[in-house]
């Protein structure tokens, strides 16, 4: 996800890190890419492919996970949850699976759409060679029976890993946060407790990384908080309580006037904290329930979206954001229809792109002004979407839950370039590095390239 509720919230998923331009800008080190916008700065992957065209390799990934792959150098890092043969007591009687939500959002009738864990899981990270798809190493970081349910379309490995090229940070929510070296050796681990998630939808938000600090947003039905950790040791640097229930949105870290701030999106309030101290800098209402999408930022504007039982898109000018900004001029434009539920927005060039709810329906805005460039454009072959869109080489890639991927020309006018179909379904977001496109499906990891 992001970064997933209902998923996936693969969505979701979330992560902010400043990296050396020569390396960090080229690779895909975190949930929403090198700039945290969903856009790749380099590369030119194929526009068209199929199971028999431009698939360089396809490998099966053990277990289940909607975590987006991250890439550094020649290696892909993927988080997954692999079921063991250790069955939960009474699992055959207690297992309560519900059907997947309808395309527009979660089911509104009947029991909560949760799946109780039937087997203990191995929470693992895999390192995969970009050249041939072979597994270089695999580490099980914890093995246990999850304490809570997850949504029928979510997994127990929906948060994405992240890396600064020196360490890899793997986050499994209630199953812990782990720092590993690039060879897979664990350097430290941190257990933040057990989350109690709304309706048993499961966990999904990823941590953020900026400088020497990791930030974890811990919104759930218990005592919520946000915490900053030293990335070298895992030591807590500050922790601030939050008056919030469950959210699935990954924090965004940006620098404004030489000061780094942590921006969070949630049902109750959007908030910004000083990265150094945890001090609350600004806050405001405006999001809908079940906040999932990760905010994006460029040129002093941060864009926050949500889309469950309502629609919200707010553009906040950070230089003017102080105190309660709910009715402040700091909100320079807003939009109140056709906003995403699970997928995060894409900010590429001067344009902001959003999907409608969990549907393959695309709207484009001029980012600075909010001018609507086009809207409600249905993407052929991509009816249902949890994955967040990717921007690269002047194109937009939107991956669907049914295996279709639409490719759209970036710009002020809508133009569908291609719709491609594979024998899998995609909840994890697409990733581009060099001239390669990587798609993590429910079963397989694909490398799409011409060579």
Residue 166: inside a domain, yes or no?
yes
Model confidence pLDDT, tens digit, residues 409-423: 999 999 999 999 999
Model confidence pLDDT, tens digit, residues 251-307: 999 999 999 999 999 999 999 999 999 999 999 999 999 999 999 999 999 999 999
- State the total domains in the chain: 1
Residue 16: inside a domain, yes or no?
no
- Identify each DSSP E strand in 186-322 by its residue range: 186-190, 208-210, 213-218, 224-230, 236-242, 252-256, 259-264, 270-274, 280-284, 296-298, 301-306, 312-317
- Average pLDDT for residues 429-435, to the nearest whole number? 97
Pairing assessment for the beta strands 150-151 and 135-144 based on DSSP bridges:
unpaired
Tell me the three state secondary structure of residue 283.
Answer: strand
- Average pLDDT for residues 177-183, to the nearest whole number? 98
Residue 135: inside a domain, yes or no?
yes
More confident call, 432 vs 106? 432
Report d(CA 367, CA 348) in Å as an integer.
Answer: 9
Using alpha carbons, list the distances in angstroms from residue 432 to 10, 41, 181, 266, 402.
Answer: 17, 9, 23, 29, 20
Residue 2: inside a domain, yes or no?
no
Residue 10: inside a domain, yes or no?
no
| CB crowding 358-379: b at 16 or more within 10 Å, else e | bbbbbbbbebbebeebebebeb
Model pLDDT, residue 23: 67
For residue 194, the enclosing domain spans 21-448
Tell me the three state secondary structure of residue 241.
Answer: strand
Residue 441 sits in a domain whose CATH number is 2.130.10.10
pTM over 0.85: yes
Model confidence pLDDT, tens digit, residues 96-140: 443 434 434 444 444 456 889 999 999 999 999 999 999 999 999
Confidence grade of residue 11 (pLDDT, cut at 50, 70, 90): very low
């Amino acid at each position: 996800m992001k970064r997933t509720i209902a998923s996936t919230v693969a969505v979701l998923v979330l992560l902010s890190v400043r990296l050396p331009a020569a390396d960090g800008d080229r690779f895909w080190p975190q949930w929403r890419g090198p700039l945290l916008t969903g856009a790749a700065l380099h590369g030119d992957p194929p526009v068209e492919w199929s199971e028999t065209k431009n698939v360089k390799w396809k490998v099966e990934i053990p277990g289940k996970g909607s975590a987006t792959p991250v890439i550094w150098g020649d290696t892909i890092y993927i988080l997954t949850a692999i079921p063991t043969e250790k069955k939960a007591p009474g699992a055959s009687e207690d297992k309560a699976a519900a059907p997947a939500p309808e395309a527009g959002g979660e089911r509104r009738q009947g029991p909560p759409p949760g799946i109780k864990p039937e087997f203990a899981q191995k929470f693992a990270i895999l390192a995969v060679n970009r050249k041939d798809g072979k597994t270089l190493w695999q580490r099980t970081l914890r093995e246990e029976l999850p304490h809570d349910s997850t949504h029928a379309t979510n997994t127990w490995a929906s948060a994405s890993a992240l890396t600064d090229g020196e360490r890899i940070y793997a986050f499994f929510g209630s199953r812990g946060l782990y720092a590993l070296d690039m060879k897979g050796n664990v350097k430290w681990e941190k257990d933040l407790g057990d989350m109690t998630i709304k309706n048993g939808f499961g966990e999904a938000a990823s941590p953020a990384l900026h400088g020497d600090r990791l930030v974890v947003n811990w919104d759930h039905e218990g005592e919520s908080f946000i915490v900053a950790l030293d990335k070298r040791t895992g030591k807590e640097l500050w922790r601030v309580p939050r008056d919030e229930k469950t959210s699935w949105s990954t924090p965004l870290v940006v620098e404004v006037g030489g000061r780094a701030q942590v921006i969070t999106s949630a049902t109750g309030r959007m908030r910004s904290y000083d990265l150094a101290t945890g001090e609350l800098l600004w806050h405001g209402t405006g999001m809908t329930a079940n906040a999932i999408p990760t905010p994006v930022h460029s040129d002093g504007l941060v864009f926050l979206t949500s889309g469950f039982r309502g629609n919200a898109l707010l553009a906040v000018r950070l230089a003017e954001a102080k105190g309660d900004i709910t009715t402040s001029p700091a909100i320079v434009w807003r939009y109140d229809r056709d906003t995403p539920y699970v997928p995060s927005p894409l900010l590429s060039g001067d344009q902001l792109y959003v999907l409608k709810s969990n549907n393959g329906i695309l709207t484009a805005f001029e980012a600075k002004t909010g001018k609507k460039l086009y809207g409600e454009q249905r993407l052929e072959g991509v009816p249902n979407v949890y994955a967040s869109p990717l921007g690269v080489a002047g194109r937009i890639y939107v991956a669907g839950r049914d295996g279709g991927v639409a490719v759209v020309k970036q710009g002020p006018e809508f133009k569908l370039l291609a719709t491609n179909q594979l024998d899998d379904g995609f909840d994890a977001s697409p990733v581009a590095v060099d001239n390669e496109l990587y798609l993590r499906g429910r079963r397989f990891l694909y490398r799409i390239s011409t060579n």
